[in-house]
Copies of this chain bind each other. A is one copy, B any other.
């Protein structure tokens, strides 16, 4: 029943395809690290990888607290002015998940004895991970174990586990050890620069207490000056003879339950776990905070926590669910993706949403631009409070961003390319500091949130400040040439296979929007703008720069070069590139990638999605076809944008293929690095591919527009979204779209360019078929996997 490393298992799917669950019907030790990421539970504040209760075997143990990190030096072979000297790395904090079990003195370990049944189920409506095992020990004693684990979405400091064990056949002696373990040994590193730096024993013990069924461990980090507390407390239900003992040492807290179970008897342990951390609060304060959280959780009780969790998720799904008929894998994947996007952001509360959420140590636990560009659009329209919180976090780091801009000789603010707490942590400036578009991406997320919510307080207190400081950045970063054209030279756009280029179209278009919007917002809030020192001349200079912005265009080829001169460069020799030489960055020098036409990820195509009104339909079609031939998708961020724009230009089957790639990135481990954590931004693309792609949703300036059109493999698509106090449901079939107001005052909408008003009555509008489009070509071997069209809808 268990697959061991090296066995041939490729042809058996890891998970069953079900609409609301991800089920692993048998334990696959060869995929343990991947399943730990997939089964990770998080509320955005506390995250736990889906490690087995007994701790071992594991792919990578992991428990994370949002923004709890250690500093480490960033070494440079040749240093230079402005290089960050300190990095930040998320650390594996005290593990509260561990419950070890001895069956007649034999440790329960799936690698020994016989596993008759092993099933894990992530339930996306209940918000729980359930595990059921039936196991016979080497000494021939059989037990059934059931554990249900949750990280509470309603009590942000709290996680809980309900662990049950019962004998099958003979009576057994049982010892269960429920633990807190700090400074766990982690598996060795990897040469892949994208994987995380691993820090050994990052926690220094400060206090440990054992009391009744409660244990607390307090630790601090060595360099970053952070303090954390982890606590556990228990409800235990077993035969009368059951004994309980607790103990603690600096790095281990342990509750030991010993009993004998006769057939029909059961031991049930409910373990409440709570975490707290702070850079400022004292040890007693943190101690009390965690003890308080434990008391609150225990009062709520296991059933109460389950109920709260379910209610929270019911409310979320009511406004966010996406139904897909015809492609059962996508149905499962879009819910799985929405669930993890929610888990990453729900209770982050003015801390960041990292690229991997709190599911693994990949990318050192850093947040990048993809949060604002790919994750926040989903949250903005489904769970807007989390989008506001994430942007409020950026706003909190604005002083650091202003310092960084000053250090670089620029005005305003420049946000870091990668960070945990706001300081720039990028060790390679051409793909870090130079990627200034992150600033426009943050501004764009602010504008999107404001457009969707009309949250005036946010605009006044947060939005204006961000817009003004980023507009100042753009104004100082660019210059007018002698012809009066505004140029932004020497920056890096989204595509990481080009760097330090002049007039990247994406960057310039997004900067233009940033400048224009800042000028408009300053006019709307003259007093607040005045306090920021914005006068009429400064706003005028932003408008002027925006109006004069250079957008290069190659007349000869009739396409937009991704950046100035891009289309003059040699094309990458795709025919000579072996399939195992992808991702290219691991097999070719940056030098060679940068100077050739080869695209890691949508860049000009992303500009066509986010700034679609700046391109004609014909330009979109020509550009899309041109960049399809160059884009290798070595970044997981690419497929969703290609899905959205493919759908817009009528390449519906291709859009469906790309949707599959972004939606299944982790369920199918397409990039072979799900072990390091989930690709939250790529998964957010499951929603975008369906809603912005096949739903054709675009919004801005109060105009919510749809242009729905389905590919052959999807017979029905229904999605919900929130916009300016309205909850709208859109149901699309191949012939028509039905618009329904679930909530709110009603609004004007657009259907394929035609406006209509949606009130209490649903509106159903026809969808004109389009002629089949000419096939497009991708680099050899880089075509997306075609979606199988399963007539039974499985």
Contact = CB atoms under 8 A, between A and B. Distances in A.
Interface in A591-628: 591-592, 594-596
A74 to B, nearest CB: 4
A386 B298 CA distance: 85
Instruction: Give the interface residue-count category, chain A.
Output: 35 or more
Given A430-B430, A489-B568, A81 B585 contact: yes
Contacts of A556: 482
Contacts of A427: 76-78
A587 B428 contact: no
Contacts of A434: 591
Interface residues of A, dominant DSSP: loop
A570 interface: yes
Interface in A413-445: 426-430, 433-434
A595 B408 CA distance: 13
Interface in A563-588: 564-565, 568-570, 585-588
A224 to B, nearest CB: 17
A481 B568 contact: yes
A424 to B, nearest CB: 11
Interface in A468-526: 479, 481-482, 487, 489-491, 499-500, 502
A244 to B, nearest CB: 49
A588 B87 contact: no
Contact of A589 (B77, B193, B408, B428): B408
Interface in A533-581: 556, 564-565, 568-570
A479 B592 CA distance: 13
Contact of A590 (B193, B429, B586, B595): B429
A589 B76 contact: no
A409 interface: yes
| Copies of the polypeptide in the assembly | 2
A82 interface: yes
A569 B427 CA distance: 26
A79 interface: yes
Given A408-B589, A409-B588, A193 B594 contact: no
A552 to B, nearest CB: 11
Given A487-B568, A489-B595, A565-B502, A80 B429 contact: no
Interface of A: 74-84, 87, 193, 407-410, 426-430, 433-434, 479, 481-482, 487, 489-491, 499-500, 502, 556, 564-565, 568-570, 585-592, 594-596
19 contacts: A74-B77, A78-B193, A78-B426, A79-B193, A80-B589, A80-B590, A81-B588, A82-B588, A82-B589, A82-B591, A408-B591, A409-B592, A410-B592, A482-B556, A489-B568, A489-B570, A490-B591, A500-B594, A502-B568
> Which 9 A/B pairs are nearest by Cβ-Cβ distance?
A77-B427, A490-B595, A75-B75, A82-B589, A479-B570, A74-B77, A78-B427, A78-B428, A489-B595
